[in-house]
Amino acid sequence: MGTDREKLVVIGNGMAGISAVEQILKLTSKFDITVFGSEPHPNYNRIMLSYVLEGSKTMDDIILNDLNWYRDNGITLHTGTTVVRIEEETKEVVAENGLRVPYDKILIATGSNSFILPIPGSDKEGVVGFRDIADCHQMLEAAKTYRKAAVIGGGLLGLEAAKGLVQLGMEVTVVHLMEDLMERQLDHQAALMLKSELERQGIKFKMGAQTTELLGDKRVSGLQFADGTELEAEFVVMAVGIKPNIAVAKASGIETGRGIVVNDYLQTSMEGVYSVGECTEHRGICYGLVAPLFEQGIVMAKHISGVETAPYAGSVVSTKLKISGVDVFSTGEFIDGPEHTVISSKDEWKRTYKKILLKDNALIGAVLFGDIDDSAELQKLIKQNAEMTDELHASLMGGGCCGSGEKKTKSVETMSDEEIVCGCNGVTKGTIVDVITNQGLTTVDEIKACTGATRSCGGCKPVVEQILQYVLGDGFTSAAKQGICGCTTLSRDEIVAEIKAKGLQTTKEVMNVLGWNQPEGCSKCRPAINYYLGMLNPDTYEDEKESRFVNERMGANIQKDGTYTVVPRMYGGVTTPEDLKKIADVSLKYDVKVVKVTGGQRLDLIGVKKEDLPKVWAELDMPSGYAYAKSLRTVKTCVGSQFCRFGTQDSMGMGALLERKFERLDFPAKFKMAVNGCPRNCAESCTKDIGIVGNDGGWEIFIGGNGGIKARLADSLCKVKTDEELIELCGAIMQYYRETGNYLERTSEWVERMGLDHIKSVVVDDIEGRKALVERIEFALKQVTDPWKKMLGDDENRNKLFHSLEMSDQL
Ligand SMILES: Cc1cc2nc3c(=O)[nH]c(=O)nc-3n(C[C@H](O)[C@H](O)[C@H](O)COP(=O)(O)OP(=O)(O)OC[C@H]3O[C@@H](n4cnc5c(N)ncnc54)[C@H](O)[C@@H]3O)c2cc1C
Ligand SMILES: NC(=O)c1ccc[n+]([C@@H]2O[C@H](COP(=O)([O-])OP(=O)(O)OC[C@H]3O[C@@H](n4cnc5c(N)ncnc54)[C@H](O)[C@@H]3O)[C@@H](O)[C@H]2O)c1
Ligand code: SF4
Ligand code: FES
């Protein structure tokens, strides 16, 4: 390599170091760059470790710069190599393994270490921090063996770790020192709402608890608290904050405080040595989030490259918790004092809360819970120290009638090109404008694929949309409409219309004819098109197994240990001694680990080996319960008039009838029903896609209920007098949902999107329309068959899927 080039050594292969290198590469080629990293990996997106733990991303998904990137940019990378000091006299960087590398300039970006409480027992087996891939691996492994976990610290990291462990099947208690969760980001009200939402999601809390010791022999077995109480725990995650990693700077005589002290150009006290990221202390502040490190990197890169730059003046930080179903956001100041004016609103029913703090009429901080649509807008206004006006108040707090979209576009217009829009991925407004203008991008998904913006927490999506709107102007509405995935700009309705109009028959054909930008499609569009094709052509469409999710392909739900579950039908939740005996015999014979009564009133045989599935189905000789499918799952029933003293309607009989009639059809998403014999509603119709309640000698039909993460109470659609009307209406509702629902859209969302009145006008008021819907569902029902039976008769596919060549001999 050219010897006349300056030698830049980067200590720390994390997000700060490498994003600064990316900025430098954009400005100059004057450096020979060498990077040292203690971890054995190339640069990865640390913030996405929460998603790896939670299971929605893999380690491969979070690599930001793979080894080719270093090679292509002529960068020498030493992974798994820790630098111990800088020798100013010899102008060399010295690594732990004795390696010495000469330098002209240095960038220290050594990040932080997890803070481990200095209490007895914190070095026991089963106690980890949550900082890197190695920690994440340990947590994933622990969840395979142990059940009870404690997370010490109820900050952002602790809560994301706790949710991840719950998703992995552990029983998790968050042990928090203070009375409020995330007390560094939230006020009391938001903290209360957050705690109750997380409790709903299965996390337990021990608040105001000071851990004094970790108990156990070699391995941790519990926690001892200052008040004398104890908590059992086989695995402990410490998430009580971070400590800037200043070891190299200290050993080299560079000025340090809590972090490595830098000036406004990120220069340390040693000539030619810069520092960025979490290890850095600027104007007395060490940051613990990614947005500041990108901002520091931009200034540092310009300075070291000899490009004029404004000084770094510090960052206004904001946080967003990355837990699905929990929308919480905080930026700037959030605890009010006498000097503040507080604007707030709380809606206990919608579980939303918004608080904005003003000082001298300027916006200085905000906390949002439940609805964080305004987060990006607020963050920007607070950065700009914007003045509150009547118009702004109306747009932020409601009550404004018009113009807020226009105002938002105006406010992105005033952003500078260098302003970071996506804090998680360091993407500036300038970059987004550039890809829209020069590469002709028209959707947020395309911008995500090209720049990374919106890829992590998603908090920046509204601003990215506003920039699109601002750049495309009038072209926005048509062009910026979101396709169903990154492969197309066509919406669901357009795809369905094209399939009908052009008579398209296969997913491949849809993608070819409709100009997909990826010939094979992706995991989002393939199952959706497969569904739409099957819904439109129930008699002719050949279902594409390879376009189905794994559980649907296998006809069973895969479990975390690689075994499967088998759930046979139990119509209306009613079984017989004969069926129970068969289930018991099969469970014993195939060593089923657990037989569980499900929330949908049937039996789940958990822990069946893949190769045993066909034998289990054959010996049970019962219909598939479709517990794995986007289809009618269960019809839960109460005892009803056959036995209950209050029952006026035969709920068991009706439930079983409806389940038999409508089973096996594909729906956009899973579909659950309930039938009750009287308004006491013992089988909980209010949380079902269709809930039926015996009432006044007839039935009342409810739709759009959901008991999952986003709970929704079902809406009353109508009352009917006879069983025939009830069955007809159920069929019409189902078919209308099948025909208009977006793939994966539950009825709770569908009802909100379509409007209850509209659905009523189609399925209740329009008698002819209803009849046509019923005819179409009856036709589709004629085509369905039991998938287990089908698989048992299909030697080729069965052998391919279940690797059990001798099956046919045994059947
Ligand atoms: C699970 C998790 C979730 C997070 N989520 C978010 C989020 O949603 N939003 C957000 O803004 N922030 C989040 N953060 C914080 C964010 O990841 C950090 O702010 C960011 O990674 C800091 O980058 P850095 O480069 O300064 O430090 P690091 O990413 O820690 O990188 C420093 C690197 O330097 C290496 N190193 C240290 N010393 C040496 C040495 N002597 N020689 C060689 N190499 C060395 C380290 O091994 C490390 O790889 C999260 C953090 C975690 C752990
Ligand atoms: N979504 C995000 O933005 C995100 C997610 C994860 C991590 N991070 C960042 O990673 C870093 C580490 O996160 P963190 O949550 O560990 O840090 P933190 O400092 O934000 O929170 C630590 C929490 O632990 C509590 N605590 C301290 N001592 C305790 C004790 N002895 N017992 C029980 N609780 C105790 C504190 O009261 C505090 O709420 C932070 O900089 C954070 O901003 C951000
Ligand atoms: S809903 Fe009514 S009929 Fe059904 S079990 Fe409860 S009380 Fe009895
Ligand atoms: S700010 Fe988190 S993805 Fe953009």
What is the domain partition of the chain in residue ranges? 6-111+244-305, 127-240, 492-547, 629-785
Choice between 298 and 442, residue whose per-residue pLDDT is larger: 298
CA of 763 from ligand 4 middle (Å) equals 42
Choice between 253 and 561, residue whose per-residue pLDDT is larger: 253
Q: Which residues contact 695 (CB under 8 A, 6 or more apart)?
A: 648, 678, 679, 719
Give the confidence band of 408 by pLDDT, cuts at 50, 70, 90: low
Hey, what long-range contacts does 672-675 have (CB within 8 A, 24 or more apart)? 672/600, 672/632, 672/633, 672/634, 672/635, 672/636, 673/632, 673/634, 673/635, 673/636, 673/730, 674/635, 674/636, 674/637, 675/572, 675/635, 675/636, 675/637, 675/638, 675/640, 675/651
Q: What is the pLDDT of residue 409?
A: 55
Q: What is the pLDDT of residue 805?
A: 38
CATH code for 629-785? 3.30.413.10
Query: Does the pLDDT value for residue 30 go beyond 70?
Result: yes
Closest atom of ligand 2 relative to the 288 alpha carbon: 41
Q: What topology is assigned to 127-240 in CATH?
A: FAD/NAD(P)-binding domain (3.50.50)
CATH code for 6-111+244-305? 3.50.50.60
Closest atom of ligand 3 relative to the 651 alpha carbon: 4
The mean pLDDT of the chain is 91
Q: What is the pLDDT of residue 383?
A: 85
CA of 426 from ligand 4 middle (Å) equals 8
Is the C-beta atom of 122 inside 6 A of ligand 3? no
Q: Which residues contact 439 (CB under 8 A, 6 or more apart)?
A: 450
CB within 6 Å of ligand 4 — which residues?
Answer: 422-425, 453-460
Q: What is the pLDDT of residue 400?
A: 39
Q: What is the pLDDT of residue 502?
A: 86
Q: Is 127-240 the same fold as 6-111+244-305? A: yes
pLDDT average, residue stretch 155-172:
94
Is the C-beta atom of 154 inside 6 A of ligand 2? yes
Tell me what ipTM this predicted complex has: 0.91
Q: pLDDT digits over 656-678, tens only?
A: 999 999 999 999 999 999 999 99
- Torsion from C-alpha of 550, 554, 557, 558, nearest 10 degrees: -70
Bridge partners, 318 (sequence order): 331
**In Å, how far from its chain's centre is CA 11?**
32
CA of 463 from ligand 4 middle (Å) equals 10
Read off the pTM: 0.66
pLDDT average, residue stretch 503-507:
92
DSSP state of 700: E
CA of 257 from ligand 1 middle (Å) equals 19
pLDDT average, residue stretch 284-311:
95
